[in-house]
Amino acid sequence: MPQISHRGAEMPSSPIRKLVPLANAAKREGVKVYHLNIGQPDLPTPQKGLDALKNIERKTLEYSPSEGHLSLRTKLVDYYKKFGINDIGPENIIITSGGSEAILFAFMACLNPGDEILMVEPGYANYISFAVTAGIKVRTVASYIEDGFALPPMEAFEEEITPRTRAILICNPSNPTGAVYSPEDLQKIKELVVKHDLYLIADEVYREFVYTDEPFVSAMTLGLPENVILVDSVSKRYSECGIRVGMLVTRNRLVYDTVMKYCQARLSPPLLGQIVADASIEGTEEYARECFDEYKARRDFFIKGLNSIPGVYSPMPHGAFYTVVSLPVADAEDFCRWCLTDFRLDGETIMMAPAAGFYRNPDLGNNQVRMAYVLKKEDLQRSLMLLRAALKAYNKRYTF
Amino acid sequence: MPQISHRGAEMPSSPIRKLVPLANAAKREGVKVYHLNIGQPDLPTPQKGLDALKNIERKTLEYSPSEGHLSLRTKLVDYYKKFGINDIGPENIIITSGGSEAILFAFMACLNPGDEILMVEPGYANYISFAVTAGIKVRTVASYIEDGFALPPMEAFEEEITPRTRAILICNPSNPTGAVYSPEDLQKIKELVVKHDLYLIADEVYREFVYTDEPFVSAMTLGLPENVILVDSVSKRYSECGIRVGMLVTRNRLVYDTVMKYCQARLSPPLLGQIVADASIEGTEEYARECFDEYKARRDFFIKGLNSIPGVYSPMPHGAFYTVVSLPVADAEDFCRWCLTDFRLDGETIMMAPAAGFYRNPDLGNNQVRMAYVLKKEDLQRSLMLLRAALKAYNKRYTF
């Protein structure tokens, strides 16, 4: 029997999805599971996007260009202008199968196996999976719950820089912490990037969800045309995660052309998703405002509720729709599993993502979970009640 | 300015798509381009698949499970039974973003960087791109146009086997040659696989298009549950290439679980494509028969026409809808470019894929092109006329 690859063995399981079999088992028993583990919004997709599917006149669902449809890329140019991203055209944009593919292709095009990339931890867990896929070494700089997961000082980044460091990846606003980097933070990152001639890969898929009064600063506005690669996605802003439409944007022509070779190999991004995204992107200012207001209200309600549970602490996230929460347990993963396998209150339970999977340092985050506040208020309220009861029962179980 | 990666520089450009900018330039001049370069069928997608889009009731286009919808995987189990593939269940099937992703994930899960894989050349060009992506070394065993691209003798495979060889990849029926491997061929491959304990990655996306009377033998029926990984796609059989729905099928539980980690990292395959595929797969026997008859008629017409052009030779392909053709030119890529940039007949020209990109050996295939007979008969007829005129004009240009 042939062996699987070492790299395959080393691939981490997704902390967001690895407990899915336990959740499925609970559901088969008839248990209702509240999904706080995944950023799958319950808000509706824009009606224009849904209508576009009903109005498809094509008789053949053919390949699209490897870089995506020109129409969608042209609309994105206008969309980005609203965020101060100018001087780009459709020829700077590549449509990908979700932001996920954009990240993998950026890694492949910019870094060799053994090269190093800097990230903040806790960070989006799948970055590490894509780094393992690409044979890249991840070096992390820790941010801390007690500081609200603020950007670590540049000295901490400098300490992790080696001759193999080729890139820094930021997620702004941050999944999983909800941290939003200020204009000053971006300037510091810019200086670091220039000093060490790094690529700056900026994942800004949550840019529409910034709840502070400070203006959001895109890495694309820093004046680093050769260094910056923007990763984006329509998944979250139009509540259409399933269509798998992301994008990679760069002014660096050589990076663009190299990424295009990876795109040509996989032929094309999803046609139907592009049709939905194309229809979703225009004239949805009111939709965007409603989503923003809804998430902000959910955030205010949910974070307050979390902090009212004894031993639970969540900083106030300033963006995105996640928060990393410390719990009064030693092993948050064990608690998450137990909620799915053992805990039920009136036939219901909650699913959370253990935060350890968002850290590289095994000493950090073991008592933390990531939660997404993408459910409607009644469901968040019920989830808070379930969390409170589950913690009480779980801790009681270990103390007699 | 940071440098791109060596592996990115080494990524081959797709021979199928790299001339697209030249074709686009011609189209902007108002030239009509007949696309023989790409397997994009002009046949309609099954109406049931198109109707499924119009009938979507969902309000939110959410993520699907990382392994794909259970409904689609269950229908595939029945579909495979028609080809003698038994003893598998939905738990052996993973839905991917096209067959492309299935190949990449199989490579990642089964081979380490530096490991070697055996393929027949000419072979599907993007296999090499995925191998470069995965850091795998490709060793090729040549098949020849004068033998109708028959399976090379096992001795030739044995010569390429080293201590790093971990897998053999076959494409049956073959893209680009249309070769179909006989039951005896499959037995020989089985013996090789067993002898060296290799993975057998079998790309069988064209199984519906076998024009011989011999029964098609799937690698999944060879009785090698731990070795065989089937790569599949609905793209070609339902003429829905754009929906990006492929699949990976294996009875090897460890391979399945490892591939699933890659799947979880990229979250989910396209939701909308799965809805279309799910509706396309059932009750489309008549559709399949019509497609089969149409391709067979196109093949008979097109191959005869090719061989009637002076200096042009195409063997008779037994499956798929491609053929590799030798032309009376020294450099087929130059000829392909010239057709797009210089040659016009009544405002029309043809686009072909230079076959050199389907070979690893730089001495092979330089006078060959790959053509897909996926256009309707009138268009194929016109393409043949254009090819005849283009060859005449091109060779005249070089001989005075």
How many residues make up chain B in this entry? 400
Candidate from B5, B227, B262 with C-beta closest to A108: B5
Give the residue among B136, B119, B169 at the shortest CA–CA distance from B7.
Answer: B136
Close Cβ partners of B143 (under 8 Å, ≥ 6 residues apart): B120, B121, B122, B149, B150, B151, B152, B177, B179
Give the residue among A92, A120, A397 at the shortest CA–CA distance from A256.
Answer: A92
Chain A, chain B: beta-carbon pairs less than 8 Å apart: 264
- For residue range B369-392, list pLDDT tens digits in order: 999 999 999 999 999 999 999 999
Residue B396, judged by CB atoms within 10 A of its CB (0-12, 13-18, 19+), counts as: exposed
Candidate from B1, B11, B61 with C-beta closest to A258: B11
Q: How confident is the model at residue A241 (pLDDT cuts 50, 70, 90)?
A: very high
Nearest CA in chain B to A108: B8
Nearest CA in chain A to B99: A266
The answer to whether A61 contacts B130, with C-beta atoms less than 8 Å apart, is no
Q: What is the CATH number of the domain that holds B236?
A: 3.40.640.10
The answer to whether A199 contacts B2, with C-beta atoms less than 8 Å apart, is yes
Output the pLDDT for position A17: 78
B267 falls within a domain: yes
For chain A, positions 124-163, list CB contacts with chain B under 8 A: 126, 129-130, 133, 135
Same domain, A271 and A147: yes
Q: What is the mean pLDDT of residues B321-336?
A: 97
Find chain B residues with C-beta within 8 A of A63's C-beta: 38, 40, 241-242
Residue B254 touches chain A, beta carbons under 8 Å: yes
The answer to whether A112 contacts B6, with C-beta atoms less than 8 Å apart, is yes
Residue A280 touches chain B, beta carbons under 8 Å: no
Find chain A residues with C-beta within 8 A of B68's C-beta: none
Q: How confident is the model at residue B16 (pLDDT cuts 50, 70, 90)?
A: confident
Candidate from A58, A262, A272 with C-beta closest to B11: A262
Output the pLDDT for position A399: 59
Candidate from B7, B43, B60 with C-beta closest to A108: B7
Find chain B residues with C-beta within 8 A of A99's C-beta: none
Same domain, B34 and B65: no
Nearest CA in chain B to A44: B60
**For residue B398, is pLDDT > 70?**
no
What's the gap in Å between the CA of A390 and the closest CA on chain B? 27
The answer to whether A167 contacts B43, with C-beta atoms less than 8 Å apart, is no
Output the pLDDT for position B18: 80
- For residue range B52-89, list pLDDT tens digits in order: 999 999 999 999 999 999 999 999 999 999 999 999 99
Per DSSP, B148 falls in state: T
A122 falls within a domain: yes
For an interface test with B, the pick among A55, A226, A244 (most B C-beta atoms closer than 10 Å) comes out as A244
Nearest CA in chain A to B167: A2
Global pTM value? 0.95
- Quick one: residue B132, left, alpha or beta (phi over 0 = left, psi -120 to 50 = alpha)? alpha
The answer to whether B129 contacts A18, with C-beta atoms less than 8 Å apart, is no
Output the average pLDDT for chain B. Answer: 95
Output the pLDDT for position B218: 98
The answer to whether B135 contacts A115, with C-beta atoms less than 8 Å apart, is no
Residue B395 touches chain A, beta carbons under 8 Å: no
Output the pLDDT for position B208: 94
- For residue range B218-257, list pLDDT tens digits in order: 999 999 999 999 999 999 999 999 999 999 999 999 999 9
Find chain A residues with C-beta within 8 A of B271's C-beta: 242-244
Output the pLDDT for position A155: 97
Q: Which residues of B230-249 are buried (b: 16+ CB within 10 A; e: fewer)?
A: bbbbbbbbbbbbbbbbbbbb
Output the pLDDT for position A39: 84
Same domain, A69 and A185: yes
Indicate the Cα dihedral angle B41, B42, B47, B53, nearest 10°. 80
Close Cβ partners of A147 (under 8 Å, ≥ 6 residues apart): none
Choosing from A280, A298, A330, the residue where a domain stops is: A280
Output the pLDDT for position B87: 93
Same domain, B219 and B151: yes
Output the pLDDT for position A285: 84
Residue B51: CB atoms within 10 A of its CB come to: 11
Nearest CA in chain B to A244: B270
Same domain, B150 and B271: yes
Residue A63 touches chain B, beta carbons under 8 Å: yes
Same domain, B264 and B317: no
A14 falls within a domain: yes
Same domain, A131 and A250: yes
Candidate from A20, A45, A104 with C-beta closest to B61: A45
Nearest CA in chain B to A124: B265
Rounded Cα distance, A238 and B77, in Å: 34
Express as a percent the part of chain B with pLDDT over 90: 92
What's the gap in Å between the CA of A257 and the closest CA on chain B? 10
Nearest CA in chain A to B194: A1
Candidate from A109, A239, A268 with C-beta closest to B8: A109
Provide the number of structural domains found in chain B: 2
Output the pLDDT for position B239: 94
For chain A, positions 4-23, list CB contacts with chain B under 8 A: 4-9, 11-14, 16-18, 20
Indicate the SS3 state at residue A254.
Answer: helix
Candidate from A64, A100, A261 with C-beta closest to B242: A64
- For residue range A157-216, list pLDDT tens digits in order: 999 999 999 999 999 999 999 999 999 999 999 999 999 999 999 999 999 999 999 889
Give the residue among B346, B286, B357 at the shortest CA–CA distance from B140.
Answer: B357
Residue A115 touches chain B, beta carbons under 8 Å: yes
Residue B28 touches chain A, beta carbons under 8 Å: no
Residue B63 touches chain A, beta carbons under 8 Å: yes
For an interface test with A, the pick among B272, B274, B358 (most A C-beta atoms closer than 10 Å) comes out as B272
Same domain, B260 and B291: no
Rounded Cα distance, B129 and B131, in Å: 5
Choosing from B280, B298, B316, the residue where a domain stops is: B280
Residue A108 touches chain B, beta carbons under 8 Å: yes
- For residue range A345-396, list pLDDT tens digits in order: 999 999 999 999 999 999 999 999 999 999 999 999 999 999 999 999 999 8
A49 falls within a domain: no
For chain A, positions 356-385, list CB contacts with chain B under 8 A: none
For chain B, positions 168-197, list CB contacts with chain A under 8 A: 197
Greater model confidence, A282 or A299: A299
**For residue A306, is pLDDT > 90?**
yes
Same domain, B18 and B93: no
Query: Domain range for residue A208?
Result: 59-280
CB A243 within 8 A of CB A272: yes
Output the pLDDT for position B282: 84
Q: How confident is the model at residue B14 (pLDDT cuts 50, 70, 90)?
A: confident
Q: What is the mean pLDDT of residues A293-298?
A: 96
The answer to whether B53 contacts A49, with C-beta atoms less than 8 Å apart, is no
Output the pLDDT for position A13: 85
Q: What is the mean pLDDT of residues A120-140?
A: 95
Q: How confident is the model at residue B17 (pLDDT cuts 50, 70, 90)?
A: confident
Q: What is the CATH number of the domain that holds A301?
A: 3.90.1150.10
The answer to whether A273 contacts B269, with C-beta atoms less than 8 Å apart, is no
Per DSSP, B17 falls in state: T
What's the gap in Å between the CA of A148 and the closest CA on chain B? 26
Tokens 């005849």 found at: B388
Candidate from A2, A41, A271 with C-beta closest to B243: A271
Q: How confident is the model at residue A397 (pLDDT cuts 50, 70, 90)?
A: confident
Output the pLDDT for position B238: 95
Which two tokens mark B128?
């090499």
**How far apart, in Å, do the first and last CA atoms of chain A sit?**
48
Same domain, B245 and B309: no
Close Cβ partners of A369 (under 8 Å, ≥ 6 residues apart): A324, A325, A327, A332, A335, A336, A352, A353, A354, A355
A95 falls within a domain: yes
Same domain, B301 and B221: no
Q: What is the mean pLDDT of residues A212-228?
A: 95
What's the gap in Å between the CA of A318 and the closest CA on chain B? 25
**For residue A398, is pLDDT > 80?**
no
Choosing from B220, B255, B280, the residue where a domain stops is: B280
Comparing A37-41, A122-126, A395-399, the range with the smallest average pLDDT is A395-399
**For residue A400, is pLDDT > 60?**
no
For an interface test with A, the pick among B6, B104, B264 (most A C-beta atoms closer than 10 Å) comes out as B264
Cα-Cα-Cα-Cα dihedral sign, residues B107, B110, B113, B117? negative
> How many helices (H) does chain B have, and how many strands (E)?
13, 12
B197 falls within a domain: yes
The answer to whether B241 contacts A267, with C-beta atoms less than 8 Å apart, is yes
Find chain B residues with C-beta within 8 A of A112's C-beta: 5-7
Output the average pLDDT for chain A. Answer: 95
Output the pLDDT for position B214: 86
A50 falls within a domain: no
Candidate from B199, B264, B267 with C-beta closest to A98: B267
B370 falls within a domain: yes
For an interface test with B, the pick among A264, A276, A376 (most B C-beta atoms closer than 10 Å) comes out as A264
Same domain, A28 and A106: no
Express as a percent the part of chain B with pLDDT over 70: 99
